[in-house]
Amino acid sequence: MKKVLILIDIQNDFIPGGALAVTDGDKVVPVANALMDKYDLVVASQDWHPVGHKSFASQHECKNIGDLIELDGLQQILWPDHCVQQTGGAEFAAGLDVDKINKIIHKGTDPNIDSYSCFFDNARRKSTGLDDYLKAQDVDEVCIVGLATDYCVKFSALDAVSLGYQTTVVLDGCRGVELSPGDCEKAVIEMKEAGVIISQAQRM
């Protein structure tokens, strides 16, 4: 059996200077690079929205970033325009060792539904194909680093556990949006309760 390192959304828009910047988001890059050689496979997800994605506050009249709306029957937080396909903001962050990435997973491509997890969209209506890929490669262990702890990292880790993978989140290789103070701490508790192992890079 094999183990995979999954890099979640280490993209320009999530690091300082980007459209949805996560504090110290760039600090995850060296942690991710240092871990790559310890895994059989490296997969990277990219948040990959079409222009005018419905998770963007700009697409809704009289709504602001951070507002909650209902989108296709699901609660949706509104974000600034970010990670638009083929733009610099959607590219991998500078310094990330992209040559070692074996497979790239695009998510958030459907304009009407957001996708925080690298396995499924938020309603689990569509899969990204990652589970099939990992099962075909004989992977049973998943290790996750990237952005953001309280959104895409959390939902990817919860899905990985529910799909039967032994799942570890390397916390010093992650940073969070922290829209409300305490969101990252809550995400860690939620992940632990679901059976996710929370660890540190030096222990991997």
Q: Which amino acid is at 128?
A: T
What residue spans of the chain are helical by DSSP H? 28-35, 130-136, 154-162, 183-194
The single residue of 9, 81, 131, 150 carrying the catalytic annotation is 9
Residue 88 Cβ vs Zn ion, minimum distance, rounded to whole Å: 16
Selected from 151, 158, 159, 184, the binder of ligand VGL by CB under 6 A is 151
Strand pairing category for 2-8 and 139-147: parallel
Asked if 131 and 71 count as a contact pair (C-beta separation under 8 A), the reply is no
| Window contacting Zn ion (CB under 5 A); options: 43-51, 134-142, 172-180, 190-198 | 43-51
Select from Zn ion, ligand VGL, none the partner in contact with residue 9, using the beta carbon and a kind-dependent cut-off of 5 to 8 Å: ligand VGL
Residue 41 Cβ vs ligand VGL, minimum distance, rounded to whole Å: 21
C-alpha triplet 92, 121, 97: angle, nearest 5°: 20
Q: Which 7-46 residues touch ligand VGL, going by CB under 6 A?
A: 9, 14
If one asks whether residue 79 binds ligand VGL (CB under 6 A), the answer comes out as: yes
- CA torsion, ordered 54, 56, 58, 59, to nearest 10 deg: 0
27 assigned to active site: no
What residue spans of 54-182 are helical by DSSP H? 130-136, 154-162
131 assigned to active site: no
C-alpha triplet 10, 14, 158: angle, nearest 5°: 65
If one asks whether residue 47 binds ligand VGL (CB under 6 A), the answer comes out as: yes
The single residue of 83, 118, 143, 152 carrying the catalytic annotation is 152
Catalytic residue ranges: 9, 107, 152
Residues in the site for ligand VGL, rule: CB under 6 A?
Answer: 9, 14, 47, 79, 147-148, 151-152
